[in-house]
Chain A
Amino acid sequence: MTPLQIIFLIVAVLTLGCAVMVVSTKRMMHAALWLVMTLLGVAVTFATLESAFFTVVQVVVYIGAIAILIIFAVMLTRPEIQEKEPALNRGAWLAGLAALLVFAGLAAGLSLLPSFGSQRPPAAVEDIAALGAALVSPDAYVIPFEVASVLLIGALIGAIYVTGSQQQP
């Protein structure tokens, strides 16, 4: 066992434990805080993949923006009776069965991959300058970049429109 393997195993177990807490704890505010821990564990996983850029992006975008947004939504939609009601719906055991079946299918399918047990190539190859150039180059990925920009503008305007109108039905 190399030190990187030990670090990966510890982080993976902690991340999966936090993820289980996210989907099983009763109070939504606690679930949001467990979600922050899970996102941090995924960021460490990105770091073990030697992708410094996406580690930083994961911390800034997910923990800094999306998790805070979810915490605000939990605080804005907190009725007093919610804590006493069951956190899971009636078909929760069916959901668990479906998740187990999906995992079995994924594991069986992944183990058929020819590259399933492959080792990583030695050189660290993250080139952020090339990524930035590819995002705005017309013969590379400028179309997905522009579509993502339009998607973000649409989400911004849509969120303002949906939550801004105060009239009651």
Chain B
Amino acid sequence: MIPLSWYLIFAALLFCIGLYGVLARRNAVGVLMGIELMLNAVNVNLLAFWRYLYTGTGAQVFVAVVLVAAAAEAVIGLALIISAYRRRKTVAADEMTLLKG
């Protein structure tokens, strides 16, 4: 059978790839894709702990709440990016300087 460590290492690698995407991408939509990868890694971890250690409903509720938060985050993030694109005609994260005085 698969030991728990395989899932944990897989999720850690996925999280770090997502972190690299968040930090290194210029396109703001690419940054959101990196955040989605990180949230998926968190869900893999939660479901692995649910299967191996805590076989109750609590971990499943946790996974469902993370899913809802990911959906809300994607909706709001993409709405903000589209709104900023309408005003500035750019989606580069380092050119979004609307708040600079």
Contacts and interface: CB of A to CB of B under 8 A. Distances in A.
B12 A110 contact: yes
Contacts of A152: 68, 71-72
Interface in A107-131: 107, 110-111, 113, 115-121, 125-127, 130-131
A22 B40 CA distance: 14
Chain A facing B: main interface SS: helix
Interface string B49-92: 01111010110110111011111111110111111010101111
Interface residues of B, number: 73
Given A39-B40, A127-B57, A144-B65, A163 B26 contact: no
List 4 A-B pairs, minimum CB-CB distance, nearest first. Answer: A23-B21, A95-B23, A155-B72, A95-B24
Interface of A: 2, 4-5, 8, 12, 15-16, 19-20, 22-23, 28, 31-32, 35, 38-39, 42, 45-46, 48-51, 53-54, 57-58, 61-62, 65-66, 69-70, 72-74, 76-77, 79, 82, 85-89, 91-92, 94-96, 98-100, 102-103, 106-107, 110-111, 113, 115-121, 125-127, 130-131, 134-135, 140-141, 144-145, 148, 151-152, 154-156, 158-159, 162-163, 168-169
